[in-house]
Structure 1
């Protein structure tokens, strides 16, 4: 709950230190005194937008800090712990606004982005403004009120998560289907090209081998003659073959080596030369033996080379690149087929998520139906207590299996009311009477708050348009609500203020040069005077004071 609020140089406030207690606190004061100043300042600590005009004239900056006591098992304590901002049961929010409009925020002494204060705010305070009835006329806000009362946050989160998953898979599926349609012609071409290259089945490096074999076979006669000439010249010729000449030279040198040892080394080289000549001759004989010309083989080579050249021309690449082209096209086709399989998986996943989402949305809808029934009865009773004896309130909820999916489910919610006998239920937005609308709005706010777990609730003049005995009922409702959580209520009605456990008075003072707002916690006697003023105006009479005492005693 909120325990302290410190305000410095904010609007017409120079310095304010306000302490709050449990139960219901009423804030009263003259019109224009700034009764809502505390709520406006607190809103800044809760992440609302800051403007340079909020800084007190003549000051460099405005500073607001709010201190809360946080229960260990509360959502706020869990949030602080998760964000490493825990401070042993306390939460201190601080906001500084410079005169240029820029601002800074802190939580428990740690500087934080404004978004973190906004995220924490709903776990600490729920503020109901005097224009709440304008929001209540909107379908999305009506749904939010019902969900808050139902307290089925887990169902909402599960529905939202399934919706996000389904929406993402749906997006991926549509993109895949569009890509598939766009790639259909490409796939058909790839299938034809890969099939054609599969049938040709050119192996890696095969075309280079084809060229080499073709060159060899087409030059068979030249190769045979050259190798035969070399064989005869080296070894098998009848006259002057290389082997015979080297052998003769070696014999002569062997005889001469006895006379000069230097010739022995040359003789060794000639012996080695004869060995190499014999080896070369053996290889040439083997080459001659295998040189058989097969006309059919040459024709096959020429046919395969011709087909390779045609395919290369068709695909605008070098013949030697056909193998790599074949592999690349086959890979592209395989990827398209894999995309089709992925699309089938997406289709299956899409259907599963759709079913899961619809089932989850139905569970959420069932929970809303139960909550709507309970809340409708409570608000009807509250309306009748607020001087609408024939008032009736009903939350109409429509659930359709085929309704467009949203993160909040597939329900349509509409608040319907009737204030007078014989009149049918009609949407809240069509209520004509401002006074009736104010009382209905107040009944909705108070009754929907009974299920909320937020420790502090603030009502900013939500009792506008209410008076007389009805105002006393409003005060009783808020006081009873104050037994469940801390209630801070800005009001101009003495009947409401009298029901509070404590009362703060807001007053505006001026010395002719500057204006300043002050907030005073009233004791019993001061409350009598303030209530008497609210009852009778600026002139406080004995009768007004007597009435005030009687109101406080009730």
Structure 2
């Protein structure tokens, strides 16, 4: 519930600090005093659009803060906790607008984006403006009012989830269908390319291997001759060889080592060298023996290398990258084939999603029909209390399974008949301005009882209503105020007299400076204000007596 509102330098308000209480609070004032100015300021604190013109002339900025008691508002406390903002029993919203039009917002002293201010504000206050009856002619407004009254949050979420699932699959299917022609052309090309590479079947690393073998066979004669010559020089020479010479050197040193131990390390190295030399000679001998001229194998390698080079040039890659390209093209072909399969699967999944959505939409439709009947009776009864004795109200709920939206497939139409024998017709076609105001008020008062927000504001919704009808409106709003906090900006004494609390808005001008003030009225001042509303500026005993009747107070004894 709203407990305090502080306004500084807003429009023609210099400074206001207002305390509020539970129940119905009526707000009245002189013509042109700005009875709705506190509501407008509160709207800014709840995230309404700000403009530089809202700043009081001569001031640098507008400051507005609103304090709320959250002890009975679990949804707001959960929201604050979810957004890592203090979730104590008290919550303070603050808004600042500079003279240049820049706006800042805070929740419990922490800077927040305007979207968060709006989101929290929707959990705290619902404002019914004086032009609400104009919006009532819109189909989406009518649908929202019905769902709000019926408490369709869970059903709407189920319908919205089903719609999003269907829409996601529908978009994916449309994308695949749109790409299908290009995909098929690409698939045909890939099938040819992959088949060609499959037939060649070059393995990873194979090109480097056959290139090495080809080089060895191409130089086989030279390799054979040179390796044989090396073996001869190392160990097979008839007159001299490296092994033989080293063996002679070792023998000479061994003959000297007995005389000088210093030769032993060198002798050990010579022995190691002899072993290495002999092993090297043996390896070369084995290598020479393994060499064999193989013209047939050479031709095979020649052809494979040539084919690899040709395919590499065709695909504009290096021959060493051909195997990798082969795998890449095969993977792409597999993916395209999977896309075709996915296309078939999506048709079925999309239909399943549509069936699930329609089931959710039909459940919502049945509930809407049920609550529409209930609302029809309540609004019709209220209209008859509001001086429309022959009025009949009906909500048309038509399900269209060809209409797909997050809010279901229903078309909602508020219909009314205000005179005997008159058929039900759309609201805007049969209701006059005054009748439309009363119909709007009847609907708002009923649906407001189902609103989860703890504070309701009715901003001059009683325009076009007077006399006994105004008294009925007052009683309706007071009954609503017995259950929750209600603010009502009004010019009707019959409505104002029903308030649990009463605030008065006045305007004063000093020189060229105009200022609006707002204050709570005592019982005596309240009588005077109701008398003024009843009889104008001239307050008489009769108007005071009528005011006492409105306040349900006994006449003073003489």
2:158–2:360 Cα contact (<8 Å) kept: yes
For the residues of structure 2 that align with 1:4 and 1:281, how far apart are their CA atoms?
Answer: 105
Note the alpha carbon deviations across 1:83-109, whole angstroms, 9 max, x for none. Answer: 344454222222233322223323233
Paired residue secondary structure (2:482): coil
Displacement after TM superposition at 1:482 (Å):
1.3
Task: Look up the match of 2:46.
Answer: 46
Note the alpha carbon deviations across 1:410-464, whole angstroms, 9 max, x for none. Answer: 2221111111112111111223511111111111111111212221111111111
Task: Look up the match of 1:391.
Answer: 391
For the residues of structure 2 that align with 1:151 and 1:139, how far apart are their CA atoms?
Answer: 18
Q: Which is worse superposed, 301-310 or 495-504?
A: 301-310
CA RMSD of aligned residues (A): 3.6
Task: Look up the match of 2:147.
Answer: 147
Task: Look up the match of 1:114.
Answer: 114
Task: Look up the match of 1:324.
Answer: 324
1:253–1:267 Cα contact (<8 Å) kept: no
Task: Look up the match of 1:77.
Answer: 77
Task: Look up the match of 1:434.
Answer: 433
Task: Look up the match of 1:407.
Answer: 406
Task: Look up the match of 1:476.
Answer: 475
2:250–2:270 Cα contact (<8 Å) kept: no
Q: Which is worse superposed, 217-226 or 478-487?
A: 217-226
The alignment status of 1:14 with 2:14, answered yes or no, reads: yes
For the residues of structure 2 that align with 1:21 and 1:183, how far apart are their CA atoms?
Answer: 69
For the residues of structure 1 that align with 2:288 and 2:67, how far apart are their CA atoms?
Answer: 107
Displacement after TM superposition at 1:27 (Å):
1.4
Displacement after TM superposition at 1:271 (Å):
9.3
Structure 1: 5+ residue stretches without partners: none
Displacement after TM superposition at 1:131 (Å):
0.5
Task: Look up the match of 1:35.
Answer: 35
Paired residue secondary structure (1:539): coil
The alignment's TM-score, normalised by the length of structure 1, stands at 0.87
Displacement after TM superposition at 1:281 (Å):
7.1
2:221–2:293 Cα contact (<8 Å) kept: no
Paired residue secondary structure (1:183): helix
Task: Look up the match of 1:97.
Answer: 97
Paired residue secondary structure (1:553): coil
Task: Look up the match of 1:457.
Answer: 456
Count of matched residue pairs: 551
Note the alpha carbon deviations across 1:95-140, whole angstroms, 9 max, x for none. Answer: 2333222233232333332222211112111111111111111111
Task: Look up the match of 1:532.
Answer: 531
CA distance 1:199–1:145, shift in 2 (3 Å): same
How does 1:4-403 map onto structure 2 within 5 Å? 4-72=4-72, 74-86=74-86, 88-217=88-217, 240=239, 242=241, 293-337=293-337, 339=339, 349-403=349-403
Note the alpha carbon deviations across 1:343-383, whole angstroms, 9 max, x for none. Answer: 66655554443333332222222222222111121111111
Paired residue secondary structure (2:189): helix
Displacement after TM superposition at 1:225 (Å):
5.8
Displacement after TM superposition at 1:44 (Å):
1.6
Note the alpha carbon deviations across 1:118-175, whole angstroms, 9 max, x for none. Answer: 1111211111111111111111111111111111222223333343344334334433
Displacement after TM superposition at 1:539 (Å):
1.7
CA distance 1:449–1:247, shift in 2 (3 Å): closer
Displacement after TM superposition at 1:550 (Å):
2.7
Note the alpha carbon deviations across 1:11-37, whole angstroms, 9 max, x for none. Answer: 222332333222222212221121112
1:246–1:274 Cα contact (<8 Å) kept: no
Q: Which is worse superposed, 195-204 or 383-392?
A: 195-204
For the residues of structure 2 that align with 1:471 and 1:397, how far apart are their CA atoms?
Answer: 31
The alignment's TM-score, normalised by the length of structure 2, stands at 0.86
Paired residue secondary structure (2:551): helix
2:418–2:431 Cα contact (<8 Å) kept: no
1:382–1:443 Cα contact (<8 Å) kept: yes
1:431–1:437 Cα contact (<8 Å) kept: no
CA distance 1:545–1:281, shift in 2 (3 Å): closer
CA distance 1:223–1:400, shift in 2 (3 Å): same
Paired residue secondary structure (1:101): coil
CA distance 1:255–1:17, shift in 2 (3 Å): closer
CA distance 1:226–1:146, shift in 2 (3 Å): same
Paired residue secondary structure (2:361): helix
Displacement after TM superposition at 1:227 (Å):
6.0
For the residues of structure 1 that align with 2:92 and 2:336, how far apart are their CA atoms?
Answer: 58
Q: Which is worse superposed, 122-131 or 363-372?
A: 363-372
Note the alpha carbon deviations across 1:43-92, whole angstroms, 9 max, x for none. Answer: 12111122222222233333222222223453223223333444542222
Structure 2: 5+ residue stretches without partners: 554-558
1:246–1:270 Cα contact (<8 Å) kept: no
2:65–2:94 Cα contact (<8 Å) kept: yes
Paired residue secondary structure (1:50): coil
For the residues of structure 2 that align with 1:31 and 1:251, how far apart are their CA atoms?
Answer: 130
For the residues of structure 1 that align with 2:424 and 2:350, how far apart are their CA atoms?
Answer: 41
Q: Which is worse superposed, 27-36 or 332-341?
A: 332-341
1:395–1:416 Cα contact (<8 Å) kept: yes
1:13–1:518 Cα contact (<8 Å) kept: yes
For the residues of structure 2 that align with 1:298 and 1:243, how far apart are their CA atoms?
Answer: 35
For the residues of structure 2 that align with 1:340 and 1:73, how far apart are their CA atoms?
Answer: 53
Paired residue secondary structure (1:8): strand
Paired residue secondary structure (1:492): coil
Paired residue secondary structure (1:446): helix
Note the alpha carbon deviations across 1:189-213, whole angstroms, 9 max, x for none. Answer: 2222222212212233433443444
